[in-house]
Structure 1
């Protein structure tokens, strides 16, 4: 399937059609820098990795992979889309032995405790940022910035911009 480097998602096996070729597997989805139009993709070289019995391509022996950069319109050929992959960078290393420096808790227990504390804080922060974004969108519209431009800047659709403007969001 013909596509561009910006279309790459995790688990895609692809070949670059411009510049240095090679077949790669994406460890992460492509990330576009809107300001520069450049894309970064974490990849590993495809050395014929095959899906195992559980249909997972195991990339744990491939190291951390490397990053490739390119303009968002660099052409690629995507051979396989969204393969399920397993990679070392997906694993969170836990030491399940009680740690005397952590009040006898294991790393996993400490992590769970920290996550239980942190997740509600982050949800509230996200909510506050959404409210602040909505306020800035309204100010932008009042200042004469078009809904199209605001949609591009925020990554929202024009319909969502109008919903924010009208107080329906």
Structure 2
């Protein structure tokens, strides 16, 4: 909704971070030069699969086997899926939601590289927190973990 104009540049890398204009929309990304291509439907599909896994209490690993989201290990398994680390249970099924969400936002001004635009501050871990949209994106990611926590039993007296 709101715009963000970073007013940042780097003399070292000779680059300027582009703004994100008001009411910018994320769109399918197809940037051959950067070897990045994905659709917004991919993000939606991964989100839906993650929610489904949370509510079923099971993820499917890359061997097709069910892995239970236990009280002790479930949060780690979800973290590896959502962040899509090398130890993700199944990157092909659950994708790279968190990271490619950053990329979609970072490239919303030039998703097909028609203007040879650099990615915005959301595409760089050193600058992403400057953009207010960072906090909305991370609130959504946090909500995924909260959804999982809502499926767990209450803490016992011994656990508190």
User: TM-score scaled by structure 2?
Assistant: 0.24
Structure with more of its chain in strand, by fraction? 1
Q: Which structure has the bigger radius of gyration?
A: 1
Larger RCO (CA within 8 A; separation ≥ 6): 2
